[in-house]
Amino acid sequence: LAQTFFLRRFLRETMGYEDRVSVNLYSKRHMHAKHMSVDGVFSYIGSFNYDLYSARRNLEVGVAVFDRSFANRLQSMHQQRALESRQTTLRDWMYQQPVVQIACAVAYGCIRLS
């Protein structure tokens, strides 16, 4: 529920950037790793959740790599997973239901308080 709250907020805050920002939900298996590649040279793969809870409470790990070949392979892997995923938008039912919005906000608030 907290993740849904965060996704809804992220999608709202990135409205107008849909040509550059998208969220794809991959359901074939659980993937905890986060990754990014920048300018085809810099790559990062890690477990860090970009929130205060992870920054304060969790022991996370990540690796940064400056290598064009690695960045290209990571980007290719990402594009393949995106093709196998479902893109979520603010139009999805889970972001529109008031009861779901309240439950997600409460769950998110509880995590932030812990």
Q: What is the pLDDT of residue 50?
A: 67
pTM exceeds 0.75 for this model: no
pLDDT tens, position by position, 79-112: 998 899 988 887 887 777 788 778 878 887 877 7
From the DSSP assignment, how many helices (H) and strands (E) are in the chain?
5, 5
Q: Which of 7-11, 16-20, 49-53, 70-74 has the lowest mean pLDDT?
A: 49-53
3-state secondary structure (DSSP) of residue 21 = coil
Q: Is 38 left (phi over 0), alpha (psi -120 to 50) or beta?
A: beta
Give the pLDDT band of residue 67 (cuts 50, 70, 90).
very high
Q: Give me the chain's average pLDDT, please.
A: 84
Q: Which residues contact 8 (CB under 8 A, 6 or more apart)?
A: 90, 95, 101, 104
pLDDT tens, position by position, 25-39: 888 887 777 888 899
CA distance 68 to 35: 15
CA distance 71 to 103: 39
Q: What is the pLDDT of residue 51?
A: 67
